[in-house]
């Protein structure tokens, strides 16, 4: 059906605009011009501006969640899977700024999304967190990760630290950087004492 395509067309145009300007700075006129459709057309697909915004926000995150879940299921060592996920997240952040919302859903904006949409959005965040939590669950069982911190908290911390870390690496983020970061996360910022160093030859 052609309408699927047109909807995507609108979402994509809106995405770009919402990423570079604030909600109230983006006019529906901007969106329809950017999307190359008539003004009324947008309203065939979205009840109002708010719904369009929400859709843009959630659509990005949905895709990311799918990719992440797939990565989780891969039969690789947990470090490799985490690095893969981080790379995906980093790319998604660059492509679609709104995914950022996912990483800080305490945002006032998200807090006020209404009803079903709100929970749908929260679900996305949970989905991301819980996908990563699963990896930590396995890693704990394998004795690879400390057991005194709930895996969920580990997942949240990983995501948070990555957000702060990748701040400086705006350009690209590939396997190598991913491993560096993971080393910081897994071994900690503390100095390695002589004997501790020996442990990891």
Q: Is 23 exposed, middle or buried (0-12, 13-18, 19+ CB in 10 A)?
A: exposed
Contact call for residue 26 and DNA (CB under 7 A): yes
CB of 10 to its own copies, least distance (A): 19
Which option in its own copies, DNA, none does residue 164 bind, with CB closer than 5 to 8 A by kind?
A: its own copies
Residues 129-148 that bind its own copies (CB under 8 A): 136, 143-147
Structure tokens at 120: 């749908």
Residues 13-32 as x/- pattern, contact with its own copies by CB under 8 A: -----xxxxxxx--------
Which option in its own copies, DNA, none does residue 44 bind, with CB closer than 5 to 8 A by kind?
A: DNA
Nearer to DNA, 20 or 157 (CB): 20
Contact call for residue 108 and its own copies (CB under 8 A): yes
Strands, DSSP E only, in 52-96? none
Of 107, 138, 102, the residue nearest 120 (C-alpha): 102
Nearer to its own copies, 20 or 172 (CB): 20
Which option in DNA, its own copies, none does residue 28 bind, with CB closer than 5 to 8 A by kind?
A: DNA
Number of residues that bind its own copies (CB under 8 A): 54
- How far is 45 from 39, CA to CA, in rounded Å? 11
Contact call for residue 8 and DNA (CB under 7 A): no
What are the distances in angstroms from CA 159 to CA 30, 46, 59, 100? 34, 32, 20, 11
Contact call for residue 112 and its own copies (CB under 8 A): yes
Query: 4-13 — which CB contacts under 8 Å span 24+ positions?
Result: 6/37, 6/41, 6/45, 7/45, 9/35, 9/36, 9/37, 10/35, 10/37, 10/41, 10/42, 10/45, 10/46, 10/52, 11/52, 11/55, 11/56, 11/59
Contact call for residue 123 and its own copies (CB under 8 A): no
Task: Determine which residue in the list 40, 75, 114, 193 makes contact with its own copies, applying CB under 8 A.
Answer: 193
Which residues would be at the binding site for DNA (CB under 7 A)? 2-3, 6, 24, 26-29, 37-41, 43-44, 48-50
């Amino acid at each position: 059906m052609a309408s699927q395509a047109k909807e995507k067309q609108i979402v994509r145009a809106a995405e770009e605009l919402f990423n570079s300007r604030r909600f109230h700075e983006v006019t529906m006129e901007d969106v329809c011009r950017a999307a190359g459709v008539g003004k009324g057309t947008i309203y065939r697909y979205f009840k109002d501006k708010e719904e369009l915004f929400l859709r843009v926000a959630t659509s990005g995150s949905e895709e990311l969640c799918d990719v992440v879940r797939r990565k989780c299921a891969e039969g690789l060592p947990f470090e490799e899977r985490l690095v893969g996920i981080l790379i995906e997240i980093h790319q998604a952040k660059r492509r679609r700024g709104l995914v950022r919302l996912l990483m800080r859903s305490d945002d006032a904006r998200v807090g006020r999304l209404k009803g079903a949409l709100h929970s749908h959005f929260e679900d996305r965040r949970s989905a991301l967190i819980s996908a990563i939590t699963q990896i930590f669950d396995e890693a704990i069982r394998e004795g690879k990760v400390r057991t005194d911190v709930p895996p969920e908290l580990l997942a949240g911390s990983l995501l948070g630290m990555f957000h702060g870390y990748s701040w400086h690496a705006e350009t690209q983020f590939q396997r190598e950087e991913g491993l560096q970061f993971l080393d910081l996360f897994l071994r900690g910022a503390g100095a390695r004492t002589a004997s501790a160093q020996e442990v990891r030859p």
